Structure 1
Amino acid sequence: MPHPYPYADYLADSIARQLTQLADHLSQLPANQVPPVLGRVLNPEDGVLGRFTGLLVAGSVFAKDRAERGALPPEVWLALGRAANELHDIGLDLDEHIESFTAGTPPVAKPAAASPLVVRRHR
């Protein structure tokens, strides 16, 4: 007889709950403690982002097999694959900036000047 609450369901619920706790905790940390935590979360290989990307890759492989057998619409497989690819690309983009988050980065001698976040085109 199968267990009424499968272990995979327990893991998924537990991870979701822990991510919520991490987000809540992160919002309450002093500003100097946030960057190293973000660096660990955003690490494209060993961080939450990298591991979640790996989970979507595994889901895509499963969905491909099911789609080839006619048990899932091909769009499900394509959507999972696209999501995994997008997250992988986001991880690569963020990887260029991981050093900005690492602890022990020497303080900047002078404060960085504020920069506009939106660049407007001049006509």
Structure 2
Amino acid sequence: MEVFKDYLAKIDDPNQKERMETVLNWVKQTFPQLEPVVKWNQPMFQDHGTFIIAFSMAKHHMSIAPERVALEQFLDEIKEAGYETTKELLKIKWKEQVDYQLLEKMIAFNIEDKQNYTKFWR
């Protein structure tokens, strides 16, 4: 996706770059109605101007930020998948598999939960 081109170009590790690009492309293919944007130097997706999910990278993991409400909604499944969490995000280590089914559930939840929401953040 063109909108993420500059962000991805800054990733030095080719495996991390490929992983990030794969996940971002998967989101766009699975949820084509979502608008890909870069805000606060993070790739994210929004729906009718409201935040749905964001991604960022760290040395040892990819961070996924679905907002606290969605994180809490799926906390048991996140822990079952073996991912670490903070108040606002989950961490997928670069060597761990991405649970796309769980990711799909979180994104679908946010789309549904925020369908009449008019602000960016909850």
What TM-score range do you get, normalising by the shorter chain?
A: under 0.3
User: Would you tell me which structure has more strand in proportion to its own residues?
Assistant: 2
Compare CA radii of gyration and give the structure with the larger one: 1
Which TM-score applies when normalising by structure 1?
0.23
